[in-house]
Structure 1
């Protein structure tokens, strides 16, 4: 019987009693499914090597990227020294508030100038927002289209997606939303509320060099993974309960995939590129998951005919 007690539980999925043998056409997909972060790498590779993917994405974003890069470069040239001086005068001299000083982070010595690091970090975030402002509409379209373009490059159409099939003999019981989540969704709206709460909770970690990015990505992991597979769930017309059970059965795969994707998307400037490549990787993961669904469905149908 399958459980959800840890990463090893997902390995048992491929040894399920109703799917004892994996066919050759699923062998490579099975290996990839056992380590979901590989799809993030696959997404980057395909985006930069497949003309069906990078050409339309660049055509949609090139004008906004050029305008944003010019404005961002001018902003950096005129404000870097000012921002660095501001950090030296106010932040670095207030360690009780931020934990920063000229050569320490929360009491630990670092091999670089903290004001310079903080200025570069803040400036990188600002340039990212500037680029995002000029790219807002077009990069959103590029992300949405990346899914369909990936499927087209794989030669798959709408008929590839079949109704959801439960793969576990005993599906896990999924708990509902917590009281805090229900309150946030009710009064602020699901997307806006949760986004605001995460921003507030994660704000203190922004002052930790490098470590802050890792902590932030871990907290965003499941939400990022769910969002990246939104089109997969829609294509299969899955209910909220089916989605919750499906993700719970693969919670470690989704968490690790989402962590890796969120970590790359959180990088200043180049993270915008990863917001597209991660959609490609998520589509490739969905492709293998769907092949697995087809295999399970065919085995179930065969067993029913035998009975």
Structure 2
């Protein structure tokens, strides 16, 4: 993982920002709010949802048709197989982690979950989740290129709706007087490997899928694992627009690592939902663009402060640790 060494001095205190930046600063203090804003704008702003739906509706209809046929033909078979795995995991799978997960699921089906009696058998819950993941994959296959275009258009339209053009994105300005020292370690190299398409698919389908056998909890655990990678991916257009180097990206994210983790967790949580999560992959682009807009406004402010000879906070009590 990235390592920070030496003292780091944070940028100007939030209370000292000019009036035109105060609302943006409030939003920046809680990055998950941008995920909510993205969802709201996608479902209420016609200039955003209409182009996205027009691009994806034919693929979505074909995918849902095939998915419904698949579910109707295989639901009973898959439920029977999953029930057999949960009750007798060693008869079908020899992996010990599957066995432990299955035993937990069996106990929950016989008792309660967090003191609440479940209205259905856990095998039914797991089957629905498993089929939901399959239908999502079918939809992704039929949408493929079109949904990627819809995401990019959502980003571009969100930026345009703020009245900003390409000239708005200015060169990177370091906001900390003493930025953290970031070294590429094993975590970063491993992250680069995970970003490849084939390895990414294996990680998502093989490692994260067993987590769904834990009722409710598995969704949150998987989102936690994917948080940083999701946030970094969603801000790739921002880094590209600013022509940031890989090192500048690493420092920028390190200075805001908890912001990126919180935003990424909320975004990954929504994207991990079966079927409807595909719509949230578009809304998250909108939220990420809104966040990038506010971050860039702060970059402009810091750049102006630098030109005026401003020097960052040097008092230890005003340092911001992240």
TM-score (norm 2): 0.83
Structure 2: give runs of 5+ residues left out of the alignment.
91-95, 311-322
Q: Is the 8 A contact 1:150 1:280 kept in 2?
A: yes
Of 119, 127, 145, which aligns to 1:119? 127
Identify the match of residue 104 of structure 1 among 107, 122, 132: 107
Count of aligned residue pairs for this structure pair: 291
Checking the alignment, whether the CA contact within 8 Å between 1:99 and 1:106 is kept in structure 2 is no
SS in 1 for 2:208: helix
Q: How many angstroms apart in 2 are the aligned matches of 1:143 and 1:231? A: 11
**Stretch deviating more after TM superposition (52-61 or 81-90):** 81-90
Query: Counterparts of 1:70-219 in structure 2 under 5 Å?
Result: 70-94=65-89, 97-100=99-102, 103-105=106-108, 109-110=112-113, 111=118, 112-178=120-186, 182=189, 190-192=195-197, 195=200, 198-199=203-204, 200-219=206-225
Structure 1 distance, partners of 2:191, 2:162, is 40
Deviation at 1:198, TM superposition (A): 3.5
Q: Does 1:231 align with 2:231?
A: no
Q: 1:106 to 1:14 in 2, by over 3 A?
A: farther
Matched, 1:52 2:58: no
In structure 2, distance between residues paired with 1:287 and 1:226: 16
Match of 2:286 among 268, 280, 289: 280
Q: Report the alpha carbon displacement of residue 214 of structure 1 after superposing the two structures with TM.
A: 0.7
Query: Cα distance 1:121–1:201, how it changes in 2: closer, same or farther (>3 A)?
Result: closer
Instruction: Tell me, yes or no, if the aligned pair for 2:129 and 2:212 is still in contact at 8 Å.
Output: no
Superposition deviation, residue 159 in structure 1? 0.5
Report the more deviating stretch, 84-93 or 240-249. Answer: 84-93
The question of whether the paired residues in 2 share the 8 Å contact of 1:103 and 1:109 is answered with no
**Structure with the greater relative contact order (CA < 8 A, sep ≥ 6): 1 or 2?**
2
- CA 1:21–1:90: 2 relative to 1, 3 Å: closer
Say which is worse superposed, 94-103 or 227-236, in terms of deviation.
94-103
CA distance in 2, matches of 1:71, 1:98: 34
Partner Cα distance (1:303, 1:182) in 2: 38
1:258 alignment counterpart: 264
**Secondary structure at 1:99 match in 2:** helix
Q: Distance in 2 between matches of 1:115 and 1:202?
A: 18
TM-score (norm 1): 0.87
